[in-house]
Structure 1
Amino acid sequence: MEVPSGSELLEVRTIDDRIVHELNTTVPTGSFPGKINASQICNWDRVIKNWIAQTSSVNLDDLTLLKEVRKEQTKLKRMQSELNVEEMVNDRSWKVFNKCRQVHFKPAKNE
């Protein structure tokens, strides 16, 4: 493992100091209970739960749309797969054709 340089250590230490400072100024302690409204600052849990509830509520139109999108994606993947198979068959056919018939007949290759 490579030893970090002095500037990298200083940068990491600065980030660490900022985190500690932010925690010290936002988390209510006994020394300054009246200066910070804890319910206003410590509402991240409520915000996350609210976001999850809003995201989890399913609209039937969105579900139908989602099913249609998935069907179309499946069709697209199937067609891409078929195209790849066709390209491989075409290339192999041309190789075999050219190997067997190169002396007698050379048609123009259509791509």
Structure 2
Amino acid sequence: MECPDFSEFQDTLTKMRSLDDKIIYALNTTVPTDSFKDNSDAKNNCQELFSKIQSGHSQREVAIKRCILASAEKVKKLKELKDKDMNNIDNLKVLKSEQTRLRLLQSELSVEEVIKERTQKLFKERCRNYYKPTS
């Protein structure tokens, strides 16, 4: 996932978060109601869903952290440029813009944590009788 354009990065994250956004639906199709318990393998279904959830969380976290590191490195270089030429307004504008972008990326990490906690809570509520993750 590329991260030069924050809006594009955010759109990609939104697409990657579709399972978390639809977790209630996913759980409803994974965990059978009492009348359909015999027709479904809830343990395997919960295990597969957990695997998908974990994979999505780790992929997004890696992508966000990678973009944060790239942005922080860019901020560092821009600060060095600013220190060399204090009168260059263009460098200052680019630096401020990149610092804002870095803060937005860092806030995405917080958003990701909230989404992760919500999804895990819902998963545990619905699948606890069928599958208990080891982690």
Alignment TM class, shorter chain as reference = 0.3 to 0.5
**What is the TM-score of this pair, normalised by structure 1?**
0.41
**What is the TM-score of this pair, normalised by structure 2?**
0.34
Structure with the higher fraction of residues in helix conformation? 2
Q: Which of the pair has more CA radius of gyration?
A: 1
